[in-house]
Chains A and B, each alone.
Chain A
Amino acid sequence: MAVQEIAGVTAPPGRGLSIGQRRALTHAAIFISLIGLWEAASRLGWLDPLFYPRPSDILVSFWLIYVQNGNVGWNLYVTLGLVLAGWVAGSVLGVGLGALVGFNPLVRRFLKPYVIVLEATPRIAVAPLLIAALGFGAPSKIAIIMLVCFFAPFINTLSGVVNVDPGRMELFRSLRASKLQVMRKLVLPDAVPVIMAGERLALTAALSGALVAEFIQRDQGIGSMILIYTRNLNMASAFACIFTLTIVGFLMFKGMELVDQRVAYWKNEAGLKRVSDRRRARAQAEGVI
């Protein structure tokens, strides 16, 4: 099963550093070399500083947008708000529709062609139409994000619901479980890990969707900042915004991983132990054991 395997590498004896420490040092060395190379290339005129600002300039821009101007805070807040709203809306739509289609073979058969058509169409192409319909502002942006990110939860929920182990299904049948019980006690819990995987993809898509929506509307948010800085040929600040998004994306991904480990607790060792201990404590409190 999907239990994490840790390669059992034992550290060879050498220079008093653990393998982890030495790896960290190597990573740091490579990173610093790359940055140094970039800086040098820019200073020596190999790179056009207009389009490829020096790392030192980007660092200055970080200072500018975070501290001196302080304009990144509000814009980041706006963008993340959009991402959250669009992601939640897309998830509700995706999981709901996926469950509906998954549970209903008839709906599945007749909806399938539309799903294929929708999958083949780049959903971002609809963005201008959404703006035309909903006007400028948050609603059309959220709609764009929703459209961009609903597909992964939809398709994953659908496949999770459809691919129920036949042996377990037979067990529930032999126990004379109702349809609702099959859904609540078998199909949905079984689909949780694959739904969570879909949610992870959706969150990444939502961030991209938010940026595109902001590129189009260019009023506020990190996406607008990047666009405006680029137009003003302030590439260093644009890069500072991009690296900000790198960090945001990384944190979101890590956060999602933590949520995943808690929700799909039976897929990782720590989760198994934690829930097992909790259940034992509860049973002891009830006096079952």
Chain B
Amino acid sequence: MATQTALHSPSTDTGGRSVVIRGQDVGKTFGGGAVVALEGASFEIPKGAFVSLVGPSGCGKSTLLRLISGLIDRTSGELTVHGKPVSGPHTDVGMMFQRATLLDWRTSLENVLLPSEITRTPTRADKDRAAELLRLVGLKDFLFAFPSQLSGGMQQRVALARLLQTGADILLLDEPFGALDEFTRERLNIELMRIVAEVGATTLFVTHNIAEAIFLADQVFVMTPRPGRIVEIVDVPFERPRPLSIQTSPEFNALVARVRDLFGGVH
């Protein structure tokens, strides 16, 4: 079925793990073809992988995320999640955005319960899980706080717990900590790695920070704009868990330099 020749890079070796998301020549145009947001994206993402999508504005990274989530429809190519073609929003994926988009009139616990409420009347187990997830993201003392009483970083933690509450095994994170300060972002990145490893989720993480992309991921999709394309898929060899200190290692910096080179004159 999968014609290997269509792949941009041979580095999509799944290492024997099953493929969760597969794209082949995926394209998206807006305005009846006037704007090419994404072109010829081919990739395979194995189960439990952490993939970073990095590139400048307009490279189609958010578009790719929205295509996978089913929030928008592709104009060409094939895109499957768990072997099924994507058409419309589906429950296999959960999304998180740069803004926490919490509901101001709900406590943290109630915000996290929202995904359960959408599918059914929340059970006792749902409530326990929501409380558990808030503990997991480090908010055990803020179960009954309202969003306006939380800092930006804490609001994103609630959003992450809400994302996990969906039970989706694929997490799509669109610059989730992009609006936070450097220190908070670094802390949350580390916790994010711990948490997704703990729940065993497959994660796609959009960022425009090269070092952050490499630090977090098993694979980095390097993307360039006009038209939006995946120019290369870079494997990240570092062992997990990764301490912050690897960011100062020569190997890490060599990888950063390599990715930066791929952007050429674009950045």
Contacts and interface: CB of A to CB of B under 8 A. Distances in A.
Partners in one complex: yes
B127 A286 contact: yes
Contacts of B104: 1, 190, 266
A279 B107 contact: yes
Interface in B181-215: none
Given A288-B127, A288-B131, A174 B105 contact: no
A43 interface: no
A177 B103 CA distance: 15
Contacts of B101: 165, 167-168, 170-171
B97 A171 contact: yes
Interface string B107-132: 10110001101100000100110010
Nearest to B115: A175
Contacts of A288: 109, 124, 127-128, 131
Contacts of B90: 176
Contacts of B103: 168, 185-186, 189-190
A276 B145 contact: yes
Interface in A159-175: 165, 167-168, 170-175
B205 to A, nearest CB: 16
A280 B144 contact: yes
Interface string B52-95: 00000000000000000101000000000000000001110111
A6 interface: no
B8 interface: no
Nearest to A189: B105
A3 B148 contact: yes
B141 to A, nearest CB: 11
A170 B118 contact: no
Contacts of A280: 143-144
A52 interface: no
Nearest to B162: A171
A176 B128 contact: no
A283 interface: yes
Given A170-B71, A280-B143, A1 B148 contact: yes
Contacts of B115: 175
A132 B97 CA distance: 59
Contact of B146 (A185, A266, A289): A266
Contact of A181 (B89, B93, B118, B128): B118
A279 B127 CA distance: 13
A283 B144 contact: yes
A283 B114 contact: no
Interface in B146-180: 146, 148-149, 166
Contacts of B124: 286, 288
B145 to A, nearest CB: 7
B23 to A, nearest CB: 19
A272 interface: yes
Interface string A179-190: 001000110011
Given A266-B105, A276-B107, A279-B107, A174 B144 contact: no
B260 interface: no
B114 A175 contact: yes
Contacts of A176: 89-91, 118
A38 interface: no
A280 B128 CA distance: 14
Contacts of B118: 172, 175-177, 181, 185
A289 B143 contact: yes
Given A171-B95, A175-B115, A272 B71 contact: no
B114 A185 contact: yes
Contact of A272 (B99, B110, B148): B148
Interface in A263-277: 265-266, 272, 275-277
A289 B142 CA distance: 12
Interface string A139-177: 000000000000000000000000001011011111111
B49 to A, nearest CB: 21
A265 B149 CA distance: 13
Contacts of B143: 280, 283, 289
Most buried by B among A175, A176, A177, A288: A175
Interface of B: 69, 71, 89-91, 93-95, 97, 99, 101, 103-105, 107, 109-110, 114-115, 117-118, 124, 127-128, 131, 143-146, 148-149, 166
30 contacts: A1-B104, A1-B148, A167-B97, A167-B101, A168-B101, A168-B103, A170-B97, A170-B101, A172-B118, A173-B71, A174-B94, A175-B89, A175-B114, A175-B115, A175-B166, A176-B89, A177-B118, A185-B103, A185-B118, A272-B149, A275-B146, A276-B144, A279-B109, A279-B110, A283-B109, A283-B127, A283-B131, A286-B127, A288-B128, A289-B143
Given A170-B95, A173-B71, A185-B114, 20 more contacts: A1-B148, A167-B101, A168-B101, A168-B103, A170-B101, A175-B89, A175-B115, A176-B90, A176-B118, A185-B118, A266-B105, A266-B146, A277-B144, A280-B144, A283-B127, A283-B143, A283-B144, A286-B124, A288-B109, A289-B143
The 4 closest A-B CB pairs, nearest first, are: A280-B144, A167-B101, A266-B105, A174-B95
